[in-house]
Structure 1
């Protein structure tokens, strides 16, 4: 699944996640990494929503950011 909002909207969502959820982005990344091995974007988003009761926007932003960081490591 692709993200249908701007880079600025994505950054704004990321900035709000710690206050809205009580967990840092690094904590969310760790939770996803320690969770079930789900290869597809939407599967990881659905898992975050079901397991941690996250709104879709925050779950999408977390998984999207994880994918961006993973891609940057692969090419960097």
Structure 2
């Protein structure tokens, strides 16, 4: 089943139409607003890809807490 998601300006232009696996394998700096300096900092935490970032237990817990608060922005 094909799924389409509009990520708008959340990704670098080069990845806006890329397959999901390619996006998940990209460094965190492929997310709009993050830089190669962020890649270096996150790598120190063992986070080298967008997949790593999204599956990190600390970021996941923080995301759930924000969602529970009803304030996502």
Do both proteins adopt the same fold according to a TM-score greater than 0.5, normalized to the shorter chain? no
Give the TM-score taking structure 2 as reference length. Answer: 0.26
Name the larger-Rg structure: 2
Q: Which has the higher contact order (CA 8 A, sep 6+)?
A: 1
